[in-house]
Amino acid sequence: MIVESGWSWLPHLLWRFDQNYRSLHLEIPWVKELPSKHIRERVKFSTQPTEDFSAANWLRLIEMLETDRMLVFSTDYPHWDFDAPEESIPRELPALVRQHIFYDNARDLYRPKLGARL
């Protein structure tokens, strides 16, 4: 879980990692999958801080990430510059995307540590 770093820069980083892997994969033959796949499967990012994006921009970035399962809502409360849920995540996002960000992704991250109680 990577917190308080934002996430809008992530699509470019994943693209760059994959480009470097493709050009250098002979140097690391034991790595069988693209770096972006490893990151998508294993790393979550908090939504705080988030830029003031429209729902359309959120969806574009999520499309570039190829998943909405990497984002976990966070507020940074009680700091004065916290992200209020009703303001920081656009209401116009599809209900399933909002459910993933607000609940499912955190549950999936922490469930193995909490056991089968959830």
In single-letter form, the type of residue at position 109 comes to: L
The string of pLDDT tens digits covering residues 42-84 is 999 999 888 888 999 999 999 999 999 999 998 888 877 777 7
How many domains in the chain?
A: 1
pLDDT at 117: 55
Structural domain includes residue 97: yes
Structural domain includes residue 92: yes
The string of pLDDT tens digits covering residues 15-44 is 999 999 999 989 989 989 999 999 999 999
Structural domain includes residue 5: no
Most confident of the ranges 14-18, 89-93, 109-113: 14-18
Q: Which helix (H) or strand (E) holds 112?
A: helix 105-114
Q: DSSP string of 66-92?
A: T-SSSEE----TTSTT---HHHHS-TT
| Domain of 83, in residue numbers | 10-114
